[in-house]
Structure 1
């Protein structure tokens, strides 16, 4: 982690500050997207294009569509519009209980194919061995310290079925690591992310830059790992 980010972060309250921040956020699409609810459609379209490659890849590299995990699921926006239309079953992992409670309504009829609503932070979650075809992590990994992110990715790798993928969709800083003391999160550069991947022993399979987002936002990348 870049030294300036280390100096800014309060090690003792990093996770509790984030939890307090999200408790105050409304359980709406606009709340999940930091006031940018208008980008939801373009976000889903970009993610669909990214996943389509793996669903139609040659058989040896193809991802199956049995079960997915939505990490930092919020009210289930990504599950409803991206994952549940593709996968037979989806689990939602989210630390804010009010978001999970709202998800059961927001998902509507598609909630019938939700396997589990898991009320935990990523740092405390371990998937069962070979449980998921896809582990989707969007705008949530910045809430993990470097050490916890490495450990989380290692556990996720063990939780993949044959041909499975960990997909990350995150803001990318131009350089180093930026700490946001409002929501207690990091925005890492791609170089910093690569260091994390190496430590976690995961390999980048494909990457794609999200298009058609407002210019004032960070660059957003999708990265598939095995």
Structure 2
């Protein structure tokens, strides 16, 4: 990539998404009313359960009838680029105890907060399990102080990105960061993992691979679509190793392929 090639501008991306409807159709580029949300969420939950089978709350291929009781600690997740709370409500809250949302678009934050209060995940939420952090994901001048809190916080003092999480989920948002900003964000995320079993999951579109890393710039929302190798180079530079990777199948034709990566400290 030459010095004159376009790169993502985070503020321009935020401005674009602020013009989109604060609903599934808006955050999914017009695919919110078809099969995509269900297929995507089921694929994500299966991927996470493959990695952390103890998150299964019912007897299943992941957790047998004779399985010992799960740990009593509350499992915490961070939903990066949370949008309207779709991944939080459809993927994370059915499996974990508490979710922190990190989202830069004000109308999306408001919708996510409303969804948290009226969640249909089957959990006893009642204003619990949701917390919304400060809006940015790359601004080094801000500490990540909470923009708003809704509900239960399991640990005192966990008010910024240095809080510890069992799962950090990043989906359809990392294209808004330049490579160096993305490396720094993933390094911060790596430090925020609770223990050796904790995970960072990246689920993003990927473009066609060539003999070297490829990025495709989208002028509309000022974002990158990276190739598989481009992502892997970023993960390496951030001190992360891939423990599992998988293509999401069943999505509508004509879209970039979507790939999931599970990451831990190298």
Q: TM-score, normalised by structure 2?
A: 0.76
- The equivalent residue for 2:59 is none
- The equivalent residue for 1:182 is 220
Contact kept in structure 1, 2:7 and 2:178, CA below 8 Å: no
Given the alignment of the two structures, is residue 194 of structure 1 paired with residue 224 of structure 2, yes or no? no
- The equivalent residue for 2:44 is 47
Contact kept in structure 1, 2:7 and 2:217, CA below 8 Å: no
- Which structure would you say has the larger RCO, counting Cα contacts within 8 Å and 6 or more residues apart? 1
Please provide the CA RMSD for this pair: 2.1
- The equivalent residue for 2:6 is 9
Contact kept in structure 1, 2:79 and 2:99, CA below 8 Å: yes
Deviations 1:36-83 (A, max 9, x none): 11210000011011001122279xxx9986100000001101100110
Task: Indicate the structure (1 or 2) with the bigger Cα radius of gyration.
Answer: 2
- The one of 27, 31, 36 equivalent to 1:32 is 27
User: 1:112 Cα shift?
Assistant: 2.3
Given the alignment of the two structures, is residue 203 of structure 1 paired with residue 241 of structure 2, yes or no? yes
- The equivalent residue for 2:206 is 172
Q: Distance in 2 between matches of 1:184 and 1:172?
A: 16
Unaligned runs of 5+ in 2: 55-61, 63-69, 120-124, 145-159
Contact kept in structure 1, 2:215 and 2:227, CA below 8 Å: yes
Q: Distance in 2 between matches of 1:181 and 1:111?
A: 41
User: 1:116 Cα shift?
Assistant: 1.8
Aligned length: 217
Contact kept in structure 2, 1:65 and 1:133, CA below 8 Å: no
Q: Distance in 2 between matches of 1:101 and 1:214?
A: 29
- The one of 155, 164, 168 equivalent to 1:135 is 168
- The equivalent residue for 1:85 is 94
User: 1:181 Cα shift?
Assistant: 0.5
